[in-house]
Structure 1
Amino acid sequence: MCVNYRPPTPEQFGTLGAFSDLPADWRWPEETWKDYAAPILRAGPGGRPQACLASYGMVPRRQIPPEIKPFDTMNARAESLGERRSFAPAWRRLQLCAVPMAWFYEPCYETGRAVRHAIGMADESLFFVAGLWRDWPDAHGTIQSSFTQITINADEHPLMRRMHKPEDEKRSLVILPRDQVDDWLACTDIELARSYLAHYPAARMRDRPAPAASRKAAQASPNLELF
C-alpha cells in the first residue's frame, strides 16, 4: 500500500479550485510520510470544497496511548471501511476528503529487487485520491485534522498489479476523476460513496523508476504541529 507520495507545491495550486488562495503561512514537506502535514480537500460550510492542512494517518502517533502498540492508518481498505475502529466512524459520517498529488510511490519487483516507482497521470497533471478525515482536539484546546487514503484490490489492474512483491495482494489508491471530486466530497449516501471506489484507467496513468529520497525532517506549519 502507498505510504509515501508527493503533494503539489503551493505554486502548482495556483488555479486549482479551493486551493487557489492558500494562507501564506501554510507549509508542508516536499514528500508526505506518516504524520507529516499535507493539504487535502473536504466539504466546508454549505458543502463547498474547502482546503485543509492535515496530518497523514487517520490516527496520529501522539493519539495512540502508550500502552497500545503503535499501528499504521495511512491506508484504509475499502472492503472494511465500516468495520475498522480507526475508520468506521468517519466513513459512517461520510467525512470524505480528496488528497491532491503529483504522484505517489510504490515498490516494483520486476527486476528481482525493490525499485521505487513514481506513479501518476500520463500527462503529468495533478490528481486527487479518495480519502477520509477526522478532527482531534489538542492540549491547547485547538482542533487538528488527520486523514487516510482509501485503497482497493488491484489484482486485475494492468499497472498497479505490477507493484509490490509477487506474492503480495495488489492494492491501489482510488484516483478520482477530476469531474467527480466535488460530487465525492458532497456525497450523503454510503452506497453512492462506495460506487466511487473504482479503478482509474491504466491507459491514463504512467509509472517510472524514481530514486529513493531521504526522509528529510518535516517543516512544521504554524497552523499544524507535526506529530
Structure 2
Amino acid sequence: MCSHYEAPTAEQLGLAFTTEPFVQGRLDLWPGYIGPFIRRANEANDEGEFVPRVEVLQGSFGLIPGWSKDTKIARRTYNARSETAAEKPSFRNAWKHAQHCIIPAAAIFEPDWRSGKAIATRISRTDGEPMGIAGLWESWKNASGDILFSYSMLTINADDHAFMRNYHRAEDEKRMVVILPKGLYHDWLSAPAEESMKFMRQYPADRLTAH
C-alpha cells in the first residue's frame, strides 16, 4: 500500500504523458495533500465531433465520495483494493462509472522491514520514467458549492512479487499499486467498468529499483 509518493515535475509529466502545461504544487505528497492526476476528457473538433484527449487536474490524494460530510475521509481512502472496490461504499460509485485516472509518480515510498526496523525506501522505475499508477477519481461538493476533485491508487496482492514482497511487515499481506505499462494508458482511461479488472496486473519486478 502506498501512503507517500513523489509527484513528477510539470515538465516531466508533460513529456511522459503528453499533457498540456499546468502549475505544479508540492511534489512530496501524503494523504489529504493536493496533487495531479490525469483523466480522459472529450472536446469538440472543428466539425463538432467529440474527440478524446487527456487532461491534468489537481485533486486530493485520498478519494472523497460524494456522500462524505467532509474531507477527512481522504486519510483512509488513498488506496483502493481492486478486489473489493466495486463493493466498498467509498469507491463503488467511481468503479461503477469507470472514473479511471492515472496518478503520475516519480517514485513511491514503502517501509523495508527486513532489518527489523522500518526503513523508508524510495522505489522508482529503472528507466527513470515516471510511473503511471492506475486510480479512481471522484468529485465532491462542499456546503458552499465548491467542487474538490480527489483520487485513490488501485492496489493488488503482491505476496509472490519478487520485488514488492520485501516491503511492509513480514506478517502483513503484501500489496502493490497498479503501475500501468505506457502502452495501456489510453486503454485504461477509456475502458468500461466491466473491463477494469483486466488492467489489475503486477508490474515486472526487474523494472523497479529501490534506494
Select which of 37, 40, 60 maps to 2:37: 40
Structure 1 gap segments, 5+ residues each: 209-227
Asked whether the equivalents of residues 18 and 51 of structure 1 are also in contact (C-alpha less than 8 Å), the reply is no
1:55 aligns with 2:60: yes
Distance in 2 between residues matched to 1:163 and 1:103, nearest whole Å: 15
Provide the secondary structure at the position in 2 that maps to 1:28: coil
Residues 136-164 of structure 1 deviation map (CA, whole Å, 9 limit, x = unaligned): 12344232200000000000000100000
| Alpha-carbon distance change, 71 to 100 in structure 1, aligned in 2, over 3 angstroms | closer
Q: CA deviation at 1:97?
A: 0.4
Q: CA deviation at 1:48?
A: 1.9
Select which of 199, 204, 209 maps to 1:206: 209
Asked whether the equivalents of residues 64 and 70 of structure 1 are also in contact (C-alpha less than 8 Å), the reply is no
Match of 2:46 in 1: none
1:110 aligns with 2:86: no
Asked whether the equivalents of residues 109 and 164 of structure 1 are also in contact (C-alpha less than 8 Å), the reply is yes
Asked whether the equivalents of residues 4 and 105 of structure 1 are also in contact (C-alpha less than 8 Å), the reply is yes
Calculate the TM-score normalised by the size of structure 1. Answer: 0.82
Asked whether the equivalents of residues 13 and 104 of structure 2 are also in contact (C-alpha less than 8 Å), the reply is no
Calculate the TM-score normalised by the size of structure 2. Answer: 0.88
Q: CA deviation at 1:189?
A: 4.1
Provide the secondary structure at the position in 1 that maps to 2:10: coil
| Alpha-carbon distance change, 187 to 167 in structure 1, aligned in 2, over 3 angstroms | same
Distance in 1 between residues matched to 2:126 and 2:85, nearest whole Å: 30
Alignment of 1:1-227 (within 5 A): 1-22=1-22, 26-45=23-42, 46-59=51-64, 63-64=68-69, 72-190=76-194, 192-208=195-211
Asked whether the equivalents of residues 70 and 142 of structure 2 are also in contact (C-alpha less than 8 Å), the reply is no
Asked whether the equivalents of residues 133 and 153 of structure 2 are also in contact (C-alpha less than 8 Å), the reply is yes
Number of residue pairs matched by the alignment: 201
Question: Relative CO higher for 1 or 2, CA cutoff 8 Å, sep ≥ 6?
Answer: 1
Asked whether the equivalents of residues 13 and 20 of structure 1 are also in contact (C-alpha less than 8 Å), the reply is no
Distance in 1 between residues matched to 2:70 and 2:193, nearest whole Å: 33
Distance in 2 between residues matched to 1:85 and 1:36, nearest whole Å: 22
Distance in 1 between residues matched to 2:163 and 2:69, nearest whole Å: 35
Distance in 1 between residues matched to 2:134 and 2:74, nearest whole Å: 24
Q: CA deviation at 1:21?
A: 2.1
Structure 2 gap segments, 5+ residues each: 43-50
Asked whether the equivalents of residues 155 and 169 of structure 1 are also in contact (C-alpha less than 8 Å), the reply is yes
Q: CA deviation at 1:4?
A: 0.5
| Alpha-carbon distance change, 21 to 69 in structure 1, aligned in 2, over 3 angstroms | closer
Give the structure with the larger strand fraction.
2
Distance in 2 between residues matched to 1:75 and 1:17, nearest whole Å: 22
Between the aligned residues of both structures, percent identity stands at: 35
